[in-house]
Amino acid sequence: MPIIDNAVYRDGLRVATPASLEETFETRERHGGGFAWIGLYRPTDDELDAVQAEFGLHHLAVEDARKGHQRPKLERYGQTLFAVLKPARYLDDVEQVEFGELHVFVGPGFAITIRHAESPDLTRVRRRLEGTPELLARGPEAVLYAVIDEVVDEYGPVVSGLENDIDEIEQQLFDGDPAVTRRIYDLAAEVMDFQRATKPIVGILDALERGFEKYGVDLELQRYLRDADDHVLRIVDRGESFRQLLQNALAVHSTLVTQRQNDEMQRLTETSLRQSEEVKKISSWAAIIFAPTLIASIYGMNFRFMPELDSPLGYPLSLVGMAAFATALYVVFKRRNWM
């Protein structure tokens, strides 16, 4: 249902809960001095047109709300403020950050919140404000500041989730998990999206603070704003530190991969050297054995006319020649450390 909650407030109290936008417009007129707070969830074009016509919203702001996918910003159209916020929540089951979009119109006699995602829980914001009538009595600006405060508060669990993910990545790095590279890149993208959502809020709050005197903003609302400003500055700092940590993790990962490759190359080189030494030894012994084998083969051919066949010294001379050749080769190979 597009209309999540719809109420008219006067002096900080809910005086009516209209069932439709048309009834809201009529009820608001009857309760002069109060304001309407309309909570919409992915409204239709007709509903946006009706709200625009009733409250005189600028067509550019309405077009932004209609299309969505806007960057966080704050714009003023006459007496109407238009804020775009990027709420976020951490999904534990998939270890990912989900980003939403929230539009807030605030003007004389009205506050309109338009959600394009499940987060944030504006029902909680409404209950909190209704529980403090003295704050709600300060008008539509109280709604804007309370919504900003809620969005900033919901960044807290996101920071904790990202911090836990980075701790896990550090463990994966030194465990040699091959999937860590992809996870670093994915988490770095989430951190960048988180920074795009949080950093502009600093500018939004600064712009609101600069308008305190000009627009006579209530002192209590100023305190709300400064409290939210403190929180968001800490969150922005954490986001920047996360980005630096991930850059360092990527550098460490690259170093570890290079080190492992070098270790593997060294191991292969050592293996190759050992194999080379074995080949030298085998070749040396093969050469030593080859000399006696050659002599024995020549005199084993059994030809009738061969020198030294009839000599009584032929046999001992062949044995001495075999031994001499083998010994000479052994000495040469030994001096060259082949054996």
- Which regions in the chain score pLDDT beneath 50? 1
**pLDDT for the residue numbered 243:** 92
User: Is residue 148 packed enough to be buried (19+ CB in 10 Å), middle (13-18) or exposed (0-12)?
Assistant: buried
**pLDDT for the residue numbered 76:** 93
In contact, 28 and 109? CB cutoff 8 Å: yes
48 lies in the same domain as 99: yes
Q: Count structural domains, the chain.
A: 2
**pLDDT for the residue numbered 254:** 76
94 lies in the same domain as 181: yes
150 lies in the same domain as 274: no
248 lies in the same domain as 268: no
> Hey, is 303 helix, strand or coil?
coil
Q: Write the Ramachandran bin of 55: left for phi over 0, alpha for psi from -120 to 50, otherwise beta.
A: alpha
**pLDDT for the residue numbered 171:** 84
For the beta carbon of residue 113, count every other beta carbon within 10 angstroms: 25
pTM of the model: 0.75
**pLDDT for the residue numbered 302:** 65
**pLDDT for the residue numbered 304:** 61
**pLDDT for the residue numbered 26:** 83
179 lies in the same domain as 199: yes
The first and second tokens of residue 14, run together, are 């809910």
161 lies in the same domain as 107: yes
The first and second tokens of residue 19, run together, are 């069932």
**pLDDT for the residue numbered 297:** 72
Give me the domain span that covers residue 49. Answer: 3-258
CATH number at residue 22: 3.30.460.20
Q: What is the DSSP letter of 31?
A: S
111 lies in the same domain as 194: yes
CATH number at residue 329: 1.20.58
Written in H, E and C, the secondary structure of 107-134 is ECCEEEEEECCCCCCHHHHHHHHHCCHH
List of residues 6+ apart from 79 with CB closer than 8 A: 107, 108
In contact, 155 and 242? CB cutoff 8 Å: no
Residue where a domain stops, chosen among 225, 258, 291:
258
**pLDDT for the residue numbered 266:** 82
Residue where a domain stops, chosen among 258, 276, 308:
258
Hey, what amino acid is at 104?
V
102 lies in the same domain as 158: yes
